[in-house]
Chain A
Amino acid sequence: MYKKDEFVLFTWNSKLSASRKQQGCITVAGKTLYDKLWEAHLVDQRDDGSALLYIDRHLIHEVTSPQAFEGLRLAGRKPWRIGANLATADHNVPTTLLERQAGIEGIRDEVSRLQVKTLDDNCSSTGIMEFGLGDERQGIVHVMGPEQGATLPGMTIVCGDSHTSTHGAFGALAMGIGTSEVEHVLATQCLIQQKMKNMLVRVDGELGPGVTAKDVVLHIIGVIGTAGGTGHAIEFGGTAIHSLSVEGRMTICNMAIEAGARAGMVSVDDTTIDYFHGRPFAPRGEHWDLAVQAWRDLVSDDDAVFDRVVEIDAAAIEPQVSWGTSPEMVAGIRGRVPMLADMPSETQRQGLQRALQYMGLKEGQALTDIRLDRVFIGSCTNSRIEDLRAAASVVKGRKVSGSLKEALVVPGSGLVKKQAEQEGLDKVFTEAGFQWREPGCSMCLAMNADKLGQGEHCASTSNRNFEGRQGFGGRTHLVSPAMAAAAAIEGHFVDIREWGN
């Protein structure tokens, strides 16, 4: 039924581009997962093309919410449905035990302290539930939500943070919003939206050993580019995606925004349903049965129509390392930094040159030759328990390279931290020379004290390698937890598939 029209897209890793296909599409009835989620939440379709979409869950954090709360107050408004909101502080919190022990008052940076305090005050005055500092449920908003079952399949989920796409991993429509929209959702429980287009990224086949969800999504971004999903909701499908745990699917959907898509999603299967069973906010008893019945329908129909389809061969995906200043500047671990002469256009040549200069790399340099100064294992992309287990299994019984200045492990939530400690993972990390920190965004955006110095290279399990993202002049390389862990031991990148055997 598909009209195939192979098109040529520039990719940074030309060797891998052969595995990419793009297909145009034709008209058949049938609904995509996104169509279904959209229709189930449509409150009003207006004549001017905009629609009012109902929001089931609004997650709130300290950085993008203060003005929204103030706006509500100035207008004399109250939250529409208090129970639909859930807050936690994550972006701006310190991660050392010393600073965290005294709670909000212990935050040394005055401006940060006020921001965290303001969230606390706003939540108490409106009655919104907050997992504050010191609460074991506190953590990165996108780790905390699913962990609590506060974000569920079939929900519309928004947060003043672009990585809200994470929650699409379990068949939800989840999107980042701006501060005005935060206020709009608080006040009306709705969002004014225009429907996006449908895109399917299908990854079929078996992933090779040592290849993780992070490698899959970095590879996808390398193939479709950082604007590849612009204007679309991306559904990630195929056997390789469904073979992943819900945590792995979250890693993939988390980075949908890095492919330009405001929303990413994976359809519901048994793995999804099992994941939510028994979580604190998940439905129970009769409600659980009803919910499961409804969730079973959260899949795209067989004859659903996508505006774009991209097919990826899982077996061709290698462990990935980003070498540049955009997530699409990524390659397999055995790859090299591209050559200037190979760039198809002058704009791209200039882009490469700028990236090389910022990153302090040479064209054609092998990725395994990149020397590292710091390693960061954390962020909403890779700070869940399975990420920490993967990293710990690599470092167990080994030592962090003496050439590193710092190696950090920052669990995504207090509960992840507790679980890891019960499993003895903290010991594995600290004995190897890693620091074991308190939960938060930490070095992912360097709003707190966890930062790269100028010119320092970091193997990071986070999601953005933009200039200055992890600190002024800092150089980020995006990798999986296992790749970051192995790089910490060696002081440079290694191919996890061959290493340590």
Chain B
Amino acid sequence: MQALTVHTGLVAPMDRANVDTDMIIPKQFLKSIKRSGFGPNLFDEVRYQDEGQPGKDNSKRPLNPDFPLNQERYQGASILLTRENFGCGSSREHAPWALEDFGFRVLIAPSFADIFYNNCFKNGILPVVLPAEVVSELFENLYSQPGFELTADLEKQEMRTVDGRSWSFDVDSFRRHCLLNGLDDIGTTLQSADKIRAYEEKRQVEAPWLFAG
């Protein structure tokens, strides 16, 4: 998993509340046996004018010109600004996989759905909760200033604008530690490898039949 300490990037809008994981990545793509490659189908139903299918050449599909991610000014965006309850619905980890594959590292919303929030940290994405008024202010800035950038500082737990405004945000310490150091759960657990081995040695004496196979 990629570490995230301080991230500065172009901000793109997804200006609606209750964006569910079906909208983030529609079900037909879950047939995939891969964890990667979902980026071209991120927000598929609102991003393209036709119905997406696995295996279809996305570069030949008609784009929805009204969708921000298709517009020139948001190309290269790595921070997504959105509204309440982002990521609700199905627990599919394909949703953060698609966001990450597209290039998003930071999400900002007044609230996130629980499971989605968890899944983000497992995939190197920082979901930042800011008060609804702040989010609205950022939407205004974003629409009025082409090239609007933000800096998410996980070390200081602070979101900053170029013109010097800043807001603090909360993240629990275990998740923050993992993301700052680029550790996924597995990486963290493997830091306890000695303990796992010690357990296995002890257990092998107590219950040898469990290790016979």
Contact = CB atoms under 8 A, between A and B. Distances in A.
B213 A281 contact: yes
Nearest to B118: A180
Contacts of B174: 48, 50
Contacts of B186: 75, 77, 183-184, 187-188
B123 to A, nearest CB: 9
B196 A179 contact: no
Given A114-B33, A192-B189, A48 B173 contact: yes
B189 A190 contact: yes
A385 B34 CA distance: 37
A291 B185 contact: no
Contacts of A192: 185, 189
B35 A67 contact: yes
Nearest to A154: B207
B16 interface: no
B196 to A, nearest CB: 6
A369 interface: no
Given A183-B186, A184-B186, A189-B196, A54 B203 contact: yes
A118 B190 contact: no
The range of chain A's interface size is: 35 or more
B31 interface: yes
A335 interface: no
Interface in B39-98: 54, 91, 93
Given A43-B196, A188-B196, A180 B36 contact: no
A56 interface: yes
Nearest to A283: B209
B122 interface: yes
A44 interface: yes
A123 to B, nearest CB: 14
B208 A287 contact: yes
A412 interface: no
B114 to A, nearest CB: 13
A294 interface: yes
Contacts, number: 89
A187 B190 contact: yes
Contacts of B36: 70, 74
Contacts of B33: 66-67, 70, 114-115, 118
A187 B36 CA distance: 19
B34 A155 contact: no
A244 interface: no
A89 to B, nearest CB: 13
Nearest to B94: A67
A188 B199 contact: no
A395 to B, nearest CB: 37
Interface centre among B193, B196, B210 (most CB of A within 10 A): B210
Given A48-B173, A183-B186, A43 B93 contact: no
Contact of B199 (A43, A111, A287): A43
B192 interface: yes
Interface string A40-83: 00011000101010101000000000110011001101001101
B55 to A, nearest CB: 9
Contacts of A183: 186
A339 interface: no
10 closest cross-chain pairs (CB), A and B: A283-B209, A66-B33, A67-B35, A287-B209, A188-B189, A43-B199, A83-B213, A187-B186, A118-B33, A291-B209
Given A66-B34, A152-B210, A178-B91, 6 more contacts: A50-B174, A54-B200, A83-B213, A115-B31, A188-B186, A192-B185
Interface of B: 31, 33-36, 54, 91, 93, 119, 122, 173-174, 184-186, 189-190, 192-193, 195-196, 199-200, 203, 206-213
20 contacts: A43-B192, A43-B195, A43-B196, A44-B192, A50-B174, A66-B33, A66-B34, A70-B33, A81-B200, A84-B213, A111-B54, A180-B93, A183-B186, A184-B186, A184-B189, A188-B190, A190-B189, A290-B207, A291-B207, A294-B207
